[in-house]
């Protein structure tokens, strides 16, 4: 089992939403989605985990690696709606990863003003549409 993803850009903010299970078999796909986010957006990337059923320690390590990769580009990774099985909090010198209870809370924290956005998704994302 792998993940599906949806990526949405907002002015100075991006949201990468995941669905499924982020395990060892999904790490490469997740890494590719992070690369997509780096190439197409600006500002912080909110990793929306609302539809993520679970994640393994390999998946959690991939999230920490994504935070490092974004930090190297002057961007930050934030989490929204962490699965009930928790998150391995990275220790120093890893970048801090802010955690929000859900996606609306994360967007509110950034004072997101509705505006132009673009969206892409993997083929099997529920109700997938590309604009």
Provide the residue-wise pLDDT of the chain in tens; the chain has 131 residues. 689 999 999 888 999 999 999 999 999 999 999 998 999 988 999 999 999 999 998 999 999 999 999 999 999 999 999 887 666 555 556 778 899 999 999 999 998 766 667 777 788 887 655 44
How far, in Å, CA of 22 to CA of 3, rounded?
Answer: 6
71 located within any domain:
yes
130 located within any domain:
no
Number of domains composing the chain: 1
131 located within any domain:
no
How far, in Å, CA of 41 to CA of 43, rounded?
Answer: 7
Domain with 51 in it: 3-121
127 located within any domain:
no
pTM above 0.85, yes or no: yes
Residue 23: DSSP 8-state: S
21 exposure class (CB count in 10 Å sphere: 0-12, 13-18, 19+): middle
47 located within any domain:
yes
43 located within any domain:
yes
10 located within any domain:
yes
Name the β-bridge partners of 6: 17, 121
CATH number at residue 112: 3.30.750.24
Task: Name the residue with tokens 């997938």.
Answer: 128
How far, in Å, CA of 24 to CA of 27, rounded?
Answer: 5
């Amino acid at each position: 089992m792998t993940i599906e993803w949806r990526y949405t850009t907002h002015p100075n903010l991006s949201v990468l939403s995941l669905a499924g299970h982020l395990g060892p078999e999904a790490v490469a796909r997740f890494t590719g989605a992070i690369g997509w986010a780096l190439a197409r957006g600006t500002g912080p990337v909110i990793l929306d985990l609302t539809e993520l059923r679970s994640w393994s320690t390999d998946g959690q390590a991939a999230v920490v690696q994504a935070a490092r990769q974004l930090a190297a580009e002057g961007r930050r990774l934030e989490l929204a709606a962490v699965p009930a099985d928790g998150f391995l909090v990275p220790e120093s010198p890893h970048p801090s990863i802010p955690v929000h209870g859900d996606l609306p809370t994360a967007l509110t924290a950034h004072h997101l003003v509705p505006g132009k956005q673009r969206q892409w998704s993997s083929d099997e994302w529920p109700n997938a549409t590309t604009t």
